[in-house]
Amino acid sequence: MAKKTNIEGIDENFIINSFRQDDLTLPPSARATESPTDEAAAPEPLPPEEQREEPRRRKTRNKEQDYGALFLKEATIPARIGKTVYVRKEYHERIQLILRVIGKDEVSLFSYIDNVLAHHFDTFQEDIKKLYEQNNNLF
């Protein structure tokens, strides 16, 4: 049985915004860990040289399908069949926090990363194939 975690002292906005800090497509005010004081103010547009193509979003799916259904489920294969991989310390800490709070300590680190990668490959399969074919001209 999973251990109950005390979540009273957790700042949800801090956790959510911690994921946005690396997203350079968002204006700095949206990446801040503190809530904005004036919600009516529109974010300043980025100068043309800093504008980036908006990153692809996941395939259009039923809005009922949420984050938990996609990523917070156990993998179908045991972790011992996989390979060792190194992850940045800050990403490891973020994932552990997600799994502890949102996943209620019921999902393993291996399962979460496996689900994220499966979703990534499913979402970008066509792009990956095109790039592979373009760059695989050695033979």
Do 27 and 131 meet the contact criterion of CB atoms below 8 Å apart?
Answer: no
Q: Determine how many CB atoms are found less than 10 A away from the CB of residue 94.
A: 15
Q: Is the model's pTM score more than 0.85?
A: no
pLDDT reported for residue 39? 45
Do 104 and 74 meet the contact criterion of CB atoms below 8 Å apart?
Answer: no
Mean pLDDT for 2-9 is 67
